[in-house]
Chain A
Amino acid sequence: MTPLSTLNTHQTAIIETVIGENNHAMRLLALGFTPGSEVSLFKGSVLGGPRVFTVQGSRIALREYDAALIHVSVN
């Protein structure tokens, strides 16, 4: 298991767990980062900012801080 923030561009992984305090973890779950879902890195950061992930057919940008809370297993 590795944090989502370590994913390379176009690499795909399965979400295992979301850590972080209750409210924050819940928000990430509700955004679509649910255990069992497939996630991939669509784009690395623009100007060192957030990275864009594809999950459940949507594109969602996360800062490093949030991406580190999502743990995935790479296929």
Chain B
Amino acid sequence: MCPSTNPVWIACIGYPNAGKTSVFNSLTHSNFKAVNYPGSTVQYNTATTSTATGITHWLDTPGVVTFSPGSDDERVTHDVLTNLSSIDAAAPQHPDLIVYVADAFQLERHLMGLKLLQSQGYPVVLMITRADLMRKYGGHIAIELLSELAQCPVFYVSSHKGSGLPSIDTLRNLIPNTPYKPLLFESESGWKASARWASMTVRKVLTPPVAKNELDRWILHPQLGGLLFVLIMGLFFFLIFLGAQPLMDGIDSGWLSLTELIRHSVPQSRWSSLLVDGLFANIGAVLIFTPQILLLFIATGILESTGYLARAAIIVDRPLSWLGLSGKSFVPLLSGSACAIPAILATRTLPNKTQRMITLWMIPLMPCSARIPVYGLLLALLFHGHPLRSAVGMVVIYAISISIAILIGKFISTRYKVPNNSFYIELPRWQIPYWPMIFKNGITQTVEFLKKAGPAILAISLLLWGLSQYPNTQNSWLAHIGQWVGPLFAPMGWDWRVGVAVLASFAAREVFVAVLASMLLISQAQLGVHLSNGAAPLLSTPSILGLIVFFMISMQCGSTLAVIKKETGSWKIPAAITVAYVGLAYLAAVAVVHIALLF
């Protein structure tokens, strides 16, 4: 084999939190997420680079503790090592080179894995991360001696900035010229031998850092820890909703001026009403909630990168064990409060099928960002736009949603046999967030959300405008549909226009706001209801409460169902979730409206 002409395959392997993804990003100049939680790289990332010496295919793998497949993400790493051609047909059976990533602060543990891979015959290059932090805390690693003892090239790199990394061509030149035949067979005795070697080596090469890690004394305090958790999570959501307000007001007035500008610059016609009252109003209705969604993604990124999420997983482990789950389910559930799709993918890190199933059933009930515009509008109607009360209302909605998810989770867990009682998690070091990465990720995820929502809003706007304009505005098809579905929503006291908006929200939840906004404008001509007078006559307080409860429970996201289908392999679970949650949402909404009417 001649590496200078053939494409070569290099895989990044390492423990959770070793800094693989950062190394991978720096080497390949791509931007993936570097996070602090074990198993965050659930899907393996790949990249291809082309340099003077040829084409290199890169694979980033999920962090693993051992190389035997237990959970689904461990299987990916196992396959990359033993059967790479099953992942990509063009690849050889094993990677040409392993970039083994180890954390300077966890040197002994991480060197065990290095030794184990080497003893199986893999060609390895060692990259030790967080060199800058190690120096800062007075620690030192004798790199030359380590390279000699480990019998492999060693690079000492800084976190995030990537200084100390070799060039791609340097790495390619380290690929052995002779093919190798590794034998991946782990055993207790193999691990024990690696442990002895690592312990001996670390004693020779490491001057340990003098870093005190006092924060955990408070965060993991037996009583105070739980209280701090509630406080941190409460503040987390409260600040997001309150902090977004000024930005939202800015977008609101900006968009309104733009709309008015366009209204006055195009001649009045049926088409200008489509443009201004249809498209512009609908897009604006969702655009205004972008700050909340952006802040939610950024705040999650901060919690993730500081290392708090792993601590939170420990704190909620006991309560989650009541549902047959463990602290490992906390991250999928929390990311479900931003979007169910990455949350469902994150369930791949869970150690067994039972825990995955229970978590999958709970995720669609988490208050995802598509519900934010809906709750935002309904709370504004309920509290007449009072921002502080709305922020408190939002936190209450979140608390109730999570309670519902817990109750459903408990019900689901009684239907499965919970296999074993094991839970372990390593605590990453506390870190100051790397802001550029957090903001970049937050913006990327928000843009993704808007891109996903955009076409649905556009299509629904056009359809509704068409239905409301033909055959004529006095007696439109939309009104006919509305009257036809009216009885379905009569038990909740929802007007036919609200009913149509609820139906449209099954395309995507956030469409509800856009549709309701344009419905009010449409009906303005017909019924003389002015939007500026508020929508109070349209929706009574019990009806608003009913709508909130409906949106808390109902399954209205096609993408979520598609991802669940992909992850579980059949339509059985997604179909059951849809029937159960839509039915339950309807019944709960009727119940809430009727209870509220008693007061």
Closest-CB distance, B328 to chain A (whole angstroms):
11
Given contacts A28-B424, A30-B112, A43-B216, contact A49 B327 (CB under 8 A): yes
Contact check, A63 vs B186: say whether CB atoms are below 8 A apart. Answer: no
Which residues 83-128 of B have a CB within 8 angstroms of A? 105-109, 112-113
Closest-CB distance, A34 to chain B (whole angstroms):
4
Contact check, B191 vs A29: say whether CB atoms are below 8 A apart. Answer: yes
Which residues 469-515 of B have a CB within 8 angstroms of A? none
Tell me the complex Cα distance, A14–B512, Å: 61
Query: How would residues 184 to 223 of chain B score, 1 for a CB under 8 Å from any chain A CB and 0 otherwise?
Result: 0011100110011001000000001000010011001110
Query: How would residues 387 to 430 of chain B score, 1 for a CB under 8 Å from any chain A CB and 0 otherwise?
Result: 00000000000000000000000000000000011111111000
Which of A26, A37, A56 lies in contact with B188, CB distance below 8 A? A26
Contact check, A47 vs B426: say whether CB atoms are below 8 A apart. Answer: no
Indicate if B530 sits at the interface (CB-CB under 8 A). no
Please name all residues of chain B whose beta carbon is closer than 8 Å to the beta carbon of A47 when the two chains form the complex: 222, 225-226, 315, 318-319
Contact check, B426 vs A57: say whether CB atoms are below 8 A apart. Answer: no
Tell me the complex Cα distance, A49–B113, Å: 29
Tell me the complex Cα distance, A36–B113, Å: 18
Which one of B63-71, B260-268, B272-280 contacts A?
B63-71
Please name all residues of chain B whose beta carbon is closer than 8 Å to the beta carbon of A50 when the two chains form the complex: 314, 317-318, 327, 423-425
Number of interface residues of B (CB under 8 A): 45
Which residues 20-70 of A have a CB within 8 angstroms of B? 22-32, 34-37, 42-50, 52, 56-66
Given contacts A26-B186, A30-B113, A47-B225, contact A60 B424 (CB under 8 A): yes
Which of A23, A26, A37, A66 lies in contact with B424, CB distance below 8 A? A66
Tell me the complex Cα distance, A35–B315, Å: 28
Please name all residues of chain A whose beta carbon is closer than 8 Å to the beta carbon of B109 when the two chains form the complex: 30-32, 56, 58
Given contacts A26-B188, A43-B216, A50-B317, contact A37 B199 (CB under 8 A): yes
Please name all residues of chain B whose beta carbon is closer than 8 Å to the beta carbon of A62 when the two chains form the complex: 423-424
Given contacts A36-B199, A58-B106, contact A52 B422 (CB under 8 A): no
Closest-CB distance, A22 to chain B (whole angstroms):
7
Closest-CB distance, A55 to chain B (whole angstroms):
8
Contact check, B423 vs A59: say whether CB atoms are below 8 A apart. Answer: no
Please name all residues of chain A whose beta carbon is closer than 8 Å to the beta carbon of B315 when the two chains form the complex: 46-47, 49
Please name all residues of chain B whose beta carbon is closer than 8 Å to the beta carbon of A43 when the two chains form the complex: 216-217, 220-222
Please name all residues of chain B whose beta carbon is closer than 8 Å to the beta carbon of A22 when the two chains form the complex: 187-188
Contact check, A57 vs B423: say whether CB atoms are below 8 A apart. Answer: no
Tell me the complex Cα distance, A31–B63, Å: 12
Contact check, B195 vs A63: say whether CB atoms are below 8 A apart. Answer: no
Tell me the complex Cα distance, A41–B186, Å: 29
Contact check, A48 vs B113: say whether CB atoms are below 8 A apart. Answer: no
Tell me the complex Cα distance, A52–B219, Å: 12
By beta carbon, the residue of chain B nearest A28 is: B424
Please name all residues of chain A whose beta carbon is closer than 8 Å to the beta carbon of B107 when the two chains form the complex: 57
Contact check, A34 vs B318: say whether CB atoms are below 8 A apart. Answer: no
Tell me the complex Cα distance, A64–B424, Å: 10
By beta carbon, the residue of chain A nearest B219 is: A46
Which residues 273-327 of B have a CB within 8 angstroms of A? 314-319, 321, 326-327
Contact check, A30 vs B65: say whether CB atoms are below 8 A apart. Answer: yes
By beta carbon, the residue of chain A nearest B427 is: A59
Closest-CB distance, A13 to chain B (whole angstroms):
16
Tell me the complex Cα distance, A63–B284, Å: 49
Tell me the complex Cα distance, A42–B544, Å: 49
Which of B66, B113, B317, B427 lies in contact with A63, CB distance below 8 A? B317
Tell me the complex Cα distance, A29–B326, Å: 21
By beta carbon, the residue of chain B nearest A43 is: B220
Closest-CB distance, B361 to chain A (whole angstroms):
23
Contact check, B314 vs A34: say whether CB atoms are below 8 A apart. Answer: no
Contact check, A49 vs B422: say whether CB atoms are below 8 A apart. Answer: no
Tell me the complex Cα distance, A60–B65, Å: 12
By beta carbon, the residue of chain A nearest B420 is: A65
Contact check, A31 vs B199: say whether CB atoms are below 8 A apart. Answer: no
Query: How would residues 1 to 30 of chain A score, 1 for a CB under 8 Å from any chain B CB and 0 otherwise?
Result: 000000000000000000000111111111
Tell me the complex Cα distance, A13–B298, Å: 42
A–B complex contacts, Cβ < 8 Å, 25 sampled? A22-B187, A22-B188, A23-B66, A23-B70, A25-B188, A26-B68, A29-B195, A30-B66, A30-B112, A37-B199, A47-B222, A49-B317, A49-B321, A49-B327, A50-B314, A56-B109, A57-B208, A58-B105, A58-B427, A60-B424, A61-B327, A61-B426, A63-B326, A63-B424, A65-B421
The 4 closest A-B pairs by CB, nearest first: A49-B318, A34-B195, A46-B225, A65-B421
Given contacts A31-B65, A47-B222, A49-B321, 15 further A-B contacts (CB under 8 A): A24-B422, A27-B66, A31-B424, A34-B112, A34-B195, A35-B192, A44-B222, A45-B222, A46-B220, A47-B318, A52-B216, A56-B108, A59-B427, A60-B425, A65-B420
